[in-house]
């Protein structure tokens, strides 16, 4: 494996970091320098970072400490006898440059002591060279430091000369222990690349030297490596970091045992779904959830990558929002929106999870070491769940192993393929009925199945696994937590992206009743998952009849008050494909559609107009009369014709024409070749054919 320090280039600086000094007065500049030296000297290096930095960081800190004494003496001289001290202008030019160099030293130490330990190890030569370069800059500044023109006591003068001498004689030094450790890591990665499972004792020795001694420190290391990937632009550098992530993830499971998320992260995830109103622009138009990876399609609309990829993989070649045919299938990252979403999440103190690349970079180049590390991790976890060569697992260990599979299944398509190929799906299905005994295990199992279902090939595997659909339906109906129910609904949504699977799911009465019940009574996030799944199922005419029987129409009318866009979109889909029975079921919701037409968003108003047109055409004069009774309906329609979308204006014009024909007594609507027989709406709102 060609892994060299050159591939691990220095990270790009975070936005907002600056080494420019402020417009300081002479004395303020000295105070700022003294404060900066104090900050550098008080930096708390963890022992592993200290081991990796070795003499470089300690030497820089010692020199900074000595300079602090010089700055302190200059301040004392300036404040005790300000009139007798003649300060040359060159001194403050020198001090301004010194402020910049010291700021760089401080940032370098902070970045690497708080960042990834593996990344620091792989960059140890670059770090040493950077320290040496900054020391050289200090040496140059001390050479021009006007020591002869200043009134310094002898001790301070000697300090300046000492630091100058130390800086000028400085050489980049790297310890042999660090070089050997890096060589061991490269060797382990090469063995993984060649499909050789690393020796656990050797692996443990490496992690011990880096002081990564438990699952939580492994998680922190993975997060730091993922952050490093975001800071890199070179593909080879990214690939090597991805390989390190695979290594740490494997070691985490093998050395320290699988683990579940912290209580804090669970509470944050729950708060994200229940307490925060996500801005509409940050929601994916398909899944209605907060976008994690927004991308732009050919029509200029933005969707979450997973959702639009799922849409296109299901055979669609149109834009879901506009209905236009896509001229190409390229997905362009919307980085501006992603940064805005990330900023909003930070402000709300909720996690913003970004899918990390484990095996592939930019959609094509496979990283062999990362892929093999993933396979080894999956094999270890699945064998653990199967009980191969192990004593029976405790519930806690089982939950930990399933959670690790859940995390892996979220990363990328290679991981999803590895997990399914290892035979994990039947094992996960077994854990779906443990809700009362272990709600956390049920959540982790159903969420893992959801993540696996994103891969097209896995959809068929899940559908063909004995008992999988019944188990998902059972969680949907009687899952112990809302999170389990919501993720079961999201699984149905994902699986229903394939037309053949959609039909099979639509024949499951428990699936439909579970979705309708969840959409009626769940928290907002769970309701959105259920509504998205219902909308997908409504694409099949045969399933629409079952949705009407299951109460989906009345449910859609009920949710219109809280979620008008979602409710009216489902009503439009069901009425369009459901015939007179669906129209009859939707009859009671006409006034609510009128309210959406008056007050809803542009998209909701467009869908409401389209729904009303379909109902009037299919339902006859009774439906038109009910619409005409909505207060101010003609004015509302005129307004939509003036300011609505293209489709909204067209539907509004049709609706106005229908109302006027009815008022003139011509017929019950524009039936487009259908019978215009007046529909009778019984009190039960069901239609006798």
Distance CA 247, CA 255 (A): 11
Specify whether the CB–CB gap between 519 and 555 falls below 8 A.
yes
Specify whether the CB–CB gap between 372 and 193 falls below 8 A.
yes
Which residues, in sequence order, are bridge partners of residue 303? 295
Q: Is the pLDDT of residue 435 over 80?
A: no
Centre a 10 Å sphere on the Cβ of residue 254 and count the other Cβ atoms it contains: 19
What residues contact 683, with CB distance under 8 A and at least 6 apart? Answer: none
Among the listed residues 313, 332, 311, 333, the one whose alpha carbon sits nearest the alpha carbon of residue 323: 311
Of 72-86, 330-344, 520-534, which range is least confident? 72-86
Distance CA 134, CA 145 (A): 16
Specify whether the CB–CB gap between 647 and 606 falls below 8 A.
yes
- Domains for the chain: give ranges and CATH numbers: 26-177 (no CATH), 280-348 (3.30.40.10)
Of 231-245, 274-288, 500-514, 539-553, which range is least confident? 274-288
- What's the gap between Cα 127 and its chain centre? 31
Specify whether the CB–CB gap between 306 and 354 falls below 8 A.
no
Confidence of residue 526 (pLDDT cuts 50, 70, 90): confident
Distance CA 543, CA 507 (A): 7
| Neighbour-count burial of 122, counting CB atoms closer than 10 A to its CB (0-12 exposed, 13-18 middle, 19+ buried) | buried
The secondary element (H helix, E strand) that includes residue 673 is none
What residues contact 154, with CB distance under 8 A and at least 6 apart? Answer: none
Q: Is the pLDDT of residue 234 over 50?
A: yes
Which residues, in sequence order, are bridge partners of residue 359? none
Centre a 10 Å sphere on the Cβ of residue 630 and count the other Cβ atoms it contains: 19
Which residues, in sequence order, are bridge partners of residue 296? 302, 332
- What's the gap between Cα 477 and its chain centre? 28
Q: pLDDT tens, 274-286?
A: 445 678 788 888 7
C-alpha distances (whole Å) from 557 to each of 569, 571, 593, 595, 619 are 10, 7, 8, 11, 17
Mapped to the 3 state alphabet, what secondary structure does 218-233 carry?
HHHHHHHHHHHHHCCC
Q: pLDDT tens, 554-579?
A: 898 888 888 888 888 888 888 888 88
Q: Mean pLDDT, to the nearest integer, of 152-170?
A: 84
Distance CA 210, CA 546 (A): 59
Structure tokens at 396: 């806690």
Among the listed residues 687, 605, 684, 679, the one whose alpha carbon sits nearest the alpha carbon of residue 639: 605
Buried b (16+ CB within 10 A) or exposed e, 172-189: eebbeebeebbebbbebb
Distance CA 615, CA 587 (A): 8
Q: Mean pLDDT, to the nearest integer, of 175-200?
A: 89
Distance CA 382, CA 415 (A): 13
pLDDT given for residue 391 in this prediction: 63
What residues contact 98, with CB distance under 8 A and at least 6 apart? Answer: 33, 67, 138, 141
pLDDT given for residue 30 in this prediction: 84
Structure tokens at 408: 């892996």
pLDDT given for residue 86 in this prediction: 56
pLDDT given for residue 364 in this prediction: 40
Distance CA 561, CA 571 (A): 13
Specify whether the CB–CB gap between 439 and 396 falls below 8 A.
no
If DSSP codes are grouped into helix, strand and coil, which group holds residue 86? Answer: coil
Helices (H), ranges, 522-589: 524-537, 541-549, 552-559, 564-586
Distance CA 134, CA 506 (A): 67
Q: pLDDT tens, 368-383?
A: 888 899 999 999 999 9
Which of left, alpha, beta for 262 (phi over 0: left; psi -120 to 50: alpha)? beta
Q: Which residue has the tokens 């770090």?
A: 127
pLDDT given for residue 187 in this prediction: 92
Radius of gyration in angstroms for the set of CA atoms belonging to the chain, rounded to a whole number: 33
Centre a 10 Å sphere on the Cβ of residue 58 and count the other Cβ atoms it contains: 12
Centre a 10 Å sphere on the Cβ of residue 171 and count the other Cβ atoms it contains: 7
Q: Mean pLDDT, to the nearest integer, of 389-399?
A: 78
Of 220-234, 466-480, 532-546, 653-667, which range is least confident? 220-234
Of all residues in the chain, the percent with pLDDT exceeding 90 is 20
Distance CA 122, CA 2 (A): 12
Q: Is the pLDDT of residue 366 over 70?
A: no
| Strand pairing class (360-361; 365-366) | antiparallel
Of 231-240, 354-363, 444-453, 492-501, which range is least confident? 354-363
Which of left, alpha, beta for 324 (phi over 0: left; psi -120 to 50: alpha)? beta
Which residues, in sequence order, are bridge partners of residue 290? 283
Q: pLDDT tens, 440-481?
A: 999 999 999 999 998 888 999 999 999 999 999 999 999 989
Contacts of 199-204 spanning 24+ positions with Cβ under 8 A: 200/254, 200/255, 203/251, 203/254, 203/255, 204/255
Q: Mean pLDDT, to the nearest integer, of 283-304?
A: 84
Structure tokens at 441: 């295990």
pLDDT given for residue 653 in this prediction: 92
Q: Mean pLDDT, to the nearest integer, of 650-673?
A: 76
Q: Which residue has the higher pLDDT, 173 or 223?
A: 223
Q: Is the pLDDT of residue 686 over 50?
A: no
pLDDT given for residue 51 in this prediction: 66
Distance CA 366, CA 373 (A): 13
Average pLDDT score, the chain: 80
Reduced DSSP (H G I as helix, E B as strand, rest coil) percent helix, strand, coil of the chain, to 5: 70, 0, 30
pLDDT given for residue 471 in this prediction: 93
Q: Is the pLDDT of residue 266 over 80?
A: no
Specify whether the CB–CB gap between 30 and 21 falls below 8 A.
no
The most confident of the ranges 111-115, 609-613, 681-685 is: 609-613
Write the DSSP string, 425-494.
Answer: HHHHHHGGG-TTT-HHHHHHHHHHHHHHTTSHHHHHHHHHSTTHHHHHHHHHHH-SSHHHHHHHHHHHHH
Q: Mean pLDDT, to the nearest integer, of 583-596?
A: 88
Task: Give ∠ CA 236-303-485 in degrees, rounded to 5.
Answer: 105
pLDDT given for residue 306 in this prediction: 81
Q: Is the pLDDT of residue 426 over 90?
A: yes
Q: Is the pLDDT of residue 237 over 80?
A: no
| Neighbour-count burial of 538, counting CB atoms closer than 10 A to its CB (0-12 exposed, 13-18 middle, 19+ buried) | buried
The pTM score is: 0.73
Specify whether the CB–CB gap between 103 and 137 falls below 8 A.
no
């Amino acid at each position: 494996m060609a892994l060299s320090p050159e591939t691990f280039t220095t990270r790009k600086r975070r936005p907002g970091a600056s080494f420019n000094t402020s417009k300081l007065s002479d004395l303020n500049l000295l105070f700022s320098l003294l404060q900066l030296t104090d900050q550098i000297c008080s930096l708390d290096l963890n022992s592993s970072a200290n081991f990796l930095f070795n003499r470089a960081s300690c030497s820089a800190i010692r020199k900074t400490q000595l300079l602090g004494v010089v700055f302190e003496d200059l301040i004392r001289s300036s404040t005790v006898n300000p009139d007798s001290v003649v300060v040359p202008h060159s001194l403050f030019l020198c001090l301004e440059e010194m402020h910049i160099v010291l700021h760089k030293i401080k940032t370098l130490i902070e970045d690497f002591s708080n960042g990834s330990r593996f990344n620091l190890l792989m960059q140890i030569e670059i770090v040493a060279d950077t320290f040496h370069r900054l020391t050289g800059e200090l040496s140059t500044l001390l050479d021009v430091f006007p020591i002869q023109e200043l009134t310094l006591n002898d001790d301070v003068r000697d300090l300046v000369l000492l630091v100058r001498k130390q800086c000028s004689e400085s050489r980049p030094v790297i310890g042999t222990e660090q070089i050997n450790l890096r060589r061991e890591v490269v060797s382990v990665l090469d063995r993984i690349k060649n499909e050789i499972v690393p020796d656990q004792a050797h692996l443990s020795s490496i992690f011990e030297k880096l002081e990564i001694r438990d699952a939580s420190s492994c998680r922190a290391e993975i997060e730091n490596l993922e952050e490093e990937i975001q800071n890199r632009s070179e593909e080879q550098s990214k690939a090597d970091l991805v390989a390190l992530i695979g290594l740490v993830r494997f070691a985490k499971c093998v050395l320290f045992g699988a683990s579940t998320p912290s209580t804090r992260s669970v509470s944050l995830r729950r708060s994200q779904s229940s307490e925060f109103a996500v801005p509409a622009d940050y929601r994916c138009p398909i899944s209605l959830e907060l976008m994690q990876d927004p991308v732009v399609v050919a029509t200029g609309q933005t969707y979450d990558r997973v959702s639009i990829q799922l849409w296109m993989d299901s055979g669609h070649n149109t834009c879901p929002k506009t209905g236009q045919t896509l001229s190409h299938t390229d997905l362009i990252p919307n980085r501006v929106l992603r940064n805005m979403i990330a900023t909003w999440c930070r402000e709300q103190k909720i996690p913003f999870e970004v899918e990390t690349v484990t095996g592939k970079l930019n959609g094509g180049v496979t990283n062999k070491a990362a892929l093999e590390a993933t396979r080894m991790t999956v094999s270890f976890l699945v064998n653990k769940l199967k009980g191969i060569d192990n004593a029976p697992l405790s519930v806690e260990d089982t939950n930990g192993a399933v959670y690790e599979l859940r995390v892996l299944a979220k990363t990328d398509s290679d991981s999803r393929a590895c997990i399914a190929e290892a035979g994990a799906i039947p094992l996960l299905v077994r854990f779906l009925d443990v809700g009362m005994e272990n709600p956390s295990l049920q959540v982790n199992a159903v969420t893992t199945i959801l993540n696996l279902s994103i891969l097209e090939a896995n959809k068929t595997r899940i559908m063909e696994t004995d008992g999988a659909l019944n188990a998902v339906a059972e969680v949907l109906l009687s899952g112990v937590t809302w999170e389990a129910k919501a993720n079961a609904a999201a699984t149905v949504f994902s699986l229903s992206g394939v037309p053949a699977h959609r039909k099979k799911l639509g024949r499951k009465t428990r699936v439909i009743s579970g979705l309708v019940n969840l959409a009626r009574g769940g928290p907002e996030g769970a309701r959105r998952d259920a509504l998205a799944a219902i909308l997908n199922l409504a694409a099949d005419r045969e399933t629409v009849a079952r949705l009407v029987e299951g109460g989906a129409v009345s449910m859609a009318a009920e949710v219109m008050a809280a979620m008008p866009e979602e409710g009216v979109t489902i009503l439009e889909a069901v009425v369009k494909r459901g015939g007179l029975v669906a129209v009859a079921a939707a009859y009671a919701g006409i006034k609510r559609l009128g309210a959406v037409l008056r007050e809803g968003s542009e998209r909701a108003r467009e869908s409401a107009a389209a729904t009303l047109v379909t109902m009037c055409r299919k339902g006859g004069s009774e439906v038109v009369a009910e619409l005409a009774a909505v207060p101010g309906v003609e004015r509302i329609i005129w307004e939509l014709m003036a300011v609505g979308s293209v489709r909204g204006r067209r539907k509004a014009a049709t609706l106005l024409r229908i109302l006027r024909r009815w008022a003139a007594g011509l017929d019950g609507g524009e039936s487009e070749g259908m019978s215009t027989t007046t529909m009778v709406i019984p009190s039960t709102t069901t239609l006798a054919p």
